[in-house]
Copies of this chain bind each other. A is one copy, B any other.
């Protein structure tokens, strides 16, 4: 194998995963064909079915490979915060930074996905494929559960329903922020902003979601007083 001339840089299964990852992120599941994948990976068409069983299984494998390290790292990052706090509630700012640091860690590590990883995250939002819709909650369950309860302790004056909404909005903004500058181009024909650097995005993103999460409560109790400026 190794030695004189490198016959193969990476094994077939990994090359398929790498090629499929890029194509799934770029075009989505349905618009990506087996032949596109195997052609980019420079492997035989039958290799996907041999190594993964089916296109569906490959799709799931692509996401599992990236999401497992993320959830582990993000939960671990929160663990350290809570241990240091010794039972005291955390700051929302610290909680959001904990998650963002975990994501950025992977975003700057090519071995764990690199820049393509953050775009994969946004894909978990939009793909309606049953295989993914069924497996994603398993991946996100512990992650979101931990971060939700940490945020709930940080914001005891916000009732649970409103907090659930805010977390939903926050993660929507977070996951979509990294989807690439396509979204900015969607709105502004000539955006000033360069969306390539995840760390730069996080600089603006964290204060935004923290402000949203820590805003005064809408629902205090009985009457939702809707007034307009």
Contact = CB atoms under 8 A, between A and B. Distances in A.
Contacts of A191: 164
Contact of A207 (B90, B141, B182, B215): B215
Contacts of A43: none
Interface of A: 26-31, 90-91, 93-94, 97, 124-126, 128, 133, 136-137, 140-141, 144-145, 148, 160-162, 164-173, 176-177, 182-189, 191-193, 200-201, 203-205, 207-216, 218, 224, 226, 228-229
Copies in the complex: 2
Contacts of A29: 30-31
Given A169-B208, A170-B208, 15 more contacts: A28-B28, A90-B229, A125-B176, A126-B126, A141-B189, A164-B188, A165-B193, A168-B177, A169-B205, A176-B176, A203-B224, A204-B218, A207-B216, A211-B215, A212-B212
A172 B185 CA distance: 13
